Structure 1
Amino acid sequence: MRGIVTGGIIVLIAMGVGLFWYQGRAEVEAAAPPPSLAELPSTASPDALPSGDPKDMVGPAPPEATELTKEEQRFFRYDRDRNWRISRTEMLATRSDGFRKLDKDGNNLLTFEEWAVATVDKFEVADADGDNELTPREFATTRPKPAKKRKCAC
């Protein structure tokens, strides 16, 4: 019984190898060989290069970039589908706590207004003297708090 099963497996493997060999050979034979120099027109020499002169041709106009504010650029880094809403999956799982803080209405969608209000609030807290400008010392207060390091991983 063992010999019959082994023989059957060997026959199937041999048939598969033969089939792949046959298909590979057929594809090579179907390809046309490149033309020889004798078949080329007499005006075309192998050393001649084609002309790259565009004459009066004009290519398509490049796309125009929209002027986005820095806050909108930051917003769009997270808004992958460009629907002006950042879903929870777009905000990434590692940022879910920050997302919950920004989502004021709790609908699991972050609108641009919710995002902007949080940023304005952060700016106003950092602007200690109220002059609508951040000094280097005031800007340093906006830095994220460092993560607490565990003393021992025992």
Structure 2
Amino acid sequence: MWRYWVGAAAAIVLIVGGVFWWRSTASAQHHTARHAAATATTEAGDEPIPEPPAASEKTREEKRFLRSDHDKNGAISRDEFLAARRRNFAKLDVNGDGRLTFEEYAVKAEEKFTKADADKSGSLNPAEFETTRVARKAKASCVCQPKNDDGD
């Protein structure tokens, strides 16, 4: 019985190896064909295919860093780092005493519950609860280039 298991495992290894080998040769042929087509285009007197435009030098993190560096000295101090948190805390601290009570913390949730409780029963039925669902923005769809008939 063990011979069958060993034979099956060997067959699986050979199949997986064959798939990887086939994909690597197909990929190499694809790149060679693309390079040959680009070379043929330039040799035929046509203008070469222009390079795609370069991406902006500033990455998302660089932009985020620059937004946080309020005094533009190239470093983010502790106060600059915590500034957004302080603003958010100040919005919640309605009475300005520097402390958050549960009521101050949960004021938006209380308002949301009161607005959803249409029948003013003090509890939410399934239809009322559904109105409290967070509306999420749809992800931006990918603008993909259609493939040509030759596989590009």
Q: Does the pair score TM above 0.5?
A: no
Highest relative contact order (Cα 8 Å, sep 6+), 1 or 2? 1
Normalising by structure 1, we get a TM-score of 0.32
Normalising by structure 2, we get a TM-score of 0.32
Q: Which has the higher helix share?
A: 2
